[in-house]
Amino acid sequence: MSVVSRRNAVVVGSLLLLCSLGFGGWVQLTTGSMAILNGVHFPAGTMVGYAVGSDIDSIGGQKGAILKTTDGGTSWVEQNSGASAMLNSVYFIDDNTGYAVGDGGVAVRTTDGGANWSAMTVGGTDRFTYVGFPGRGQIGYIGVHPRSQGRTVYKTTNGGDNWAPITVGSLMTWTISCAFANDDIGVVLGKGGFVWGTSDGLDSGWFGGAGTTADLVAASFAHDDPTKGFLIGNDSLWGVIRSTDDAGVSIWEVCRHWRVTNFSGIDMPTFDAAYVCGDSAGQGRILRSVATHPNADFFRTTVPPGTPPLKGICFPGTQKDTGYAVGGGWVLKTTDQGIPWIPGVAEGKVPMVTRAGIRVVNNPCRHGITLQSDADVRISVFDAAGRVVMSRAAAKGLSYLPLPTGAYFVKAGTSTARAVVTD
């Protein structure tokens, strides 16, 4: 048997063992709709949320689709958007007042939770890729991906009654989208690594340094800290992730991540947690950051087999356990940060025994096992023959256990779990 065959046999066999444990991660929700979805937003909590995309109307034409849930995704109702084009982004100030934008310059809003949607006059027929009212007030922004080279962002200061175009960058700039942390701090993104930062609501701005020629497609700032943020983009080979801890004033730092062909969506509920979605060769992927700035690493989370390319992701407010992602006709949900959950036991002095949780951040793992613990815990690692290969104390948070390729049992207190390490 070749080395590759032996390695594959170890991985496959170990995965069969892991399947018997059960997984956390992301699960598919049933929408009852044929809509293809691009964006999702839960404004105030984990129960009321909206997803947007496109569907087919009664005569076979395209219409903008809006789905609403009031029970955390258990059931969805399709609303009448009044839009005749695909919708790409949705944002709600609260459970009732919201906005959606899409192709052909389409923009709509509601003030009654989507019972009625009305068109907004913005301008032009370019593709709108982003809408946000980050201060939850009257100031909002629309990101633009022009059909031909252009460099425009739209801004409103009266809740969408009027929108004004703002020109950014230089004559060679070609915008794709934008993202804002609050009414003033944000970035405009575009082709060839273009980043335009602002700290005064686009009254002025500066060229940012993303250190890449990739086309930058989306960004997010931490819901609890506007200085922390990530941006994502794609070049001819795969996606890129960059980070900032000063609202993009300095150079954006390179982040290591699991290789993904295309990134599409990003959200950052807290300063120490960010999620990005996209696909690898048509298979939907979701990555999660496992370290703080400036050089966070991103690891793959667990999504169901057959997940289509994912376009949008949302973690409501500043909680990082429950989130939603959309793509194709799918809606995914997690209540455990998208990471498989392994029960463990951590011993302490007071109380004598404290229940804790150990998460395997990625499984199979490359070059070692990354664990996340909710408390200090003693970890022992056994190989497939039952020999102890490592024993150490792991502090609350992230721990990395460097190990050669193979299948292992990880023991924490009285509980065990299995993990696979690849090269």
Structure-token match 């022992």, residue found: 380
CA-wise closest residue to 81 among 72, 89, 71, 70: 89
Q: What separation, in Å, do the N-terminal and C-terminal C-alpha atoms of the chain show?
A: 18
DSSP string, 232-244: EEE-SS-EEEEEE
End of a domain among 334, 368, 395?
A: 334
End of a domain among 312, 334, 356?
A: 334
Q: Same domain for 131 and 193?
A: yes
Q: Same domain for 105 and 175?
A: yes
Q: Same domain for 262 and 360?
A: no
What single-letter amino acid sits at 349?
Answer: K
The tens digit of pLDDT for each residue in 253-300 reads 999 888 899 999 999 999 989 999 999 989 999 999 875 656 678 888
Residue pair 346/398 in contact (Cβ under 8 Å)? The answer is no
Q: Same domain for 275 and 370?
A: no
CA-wise closest residue to 195 among 209, 174, 182, 215: 209
CATH of the domain at 399: 2.60.40
Q: Which residues of the chain have pLDDT under 50?
A: 1-23, 341-356
Q: How many helices (H) and strands (E) does the chain have?
A: 1, 38
Q: Same domain for 138 and 232?
A: yes
The span from the CA of 130 to the CA of 143, in Å, is 5
CA angle (206 as vertex; 262, 295 as ends), nearest 5: 50
Strands 341-347 and 330-334: unpaired
Q: Same domain for 248 and 359?
A: no
Q: Same domain for 50 and 36?
A: yes
Q: Same domain for 357 and 261?
A: no
* CA atoms within a 13 Å half-sphere pointing along the CA-CB vector of 113: 8
Q: 55 lies in which domain range?
A: 27-334
Coil, strand or helix: which one is 310? Answer: coil
The span from the CA of 233 to the CA of 264, in Å, is 8
pLDDT at 274: 94
Phi, psi of 147 (to 5 degrees): -70, -35
Record the pTM. Answer: 0.77
Q: Same domain for 276 and 365?
A: no
What single-letter amino acid sits at 163?
Answer: W
Residue pair 235/213 in contact (Cβ under 8 Å)? The answer is yes
Q: Give how many domains the chain has, as a whole number.
A: 2
Q: Same domain for 198 and 319?
A: yes
The tens digit of pLDDT for each residue in 152-178 reads 999 999 999 999 999 999 999 999 999
Q: Same domain for 323 and 361?
A: no
CATH of the domain at 215: 2.130.10.10
Structure-token match 């019972």, residue found: 115
End of a domain among 334, 350, 366?
A: 334
Residue pair 19/36 in contact (Cβ under 8 Å)? The answer is no
Q: Same domain for 174 and 221?
A: yes
Residue pair 129/85 in contact (Cβ under 8 Å)? The answer is no
The span from the CA of 128 to the CA of 98, in Å, is 16
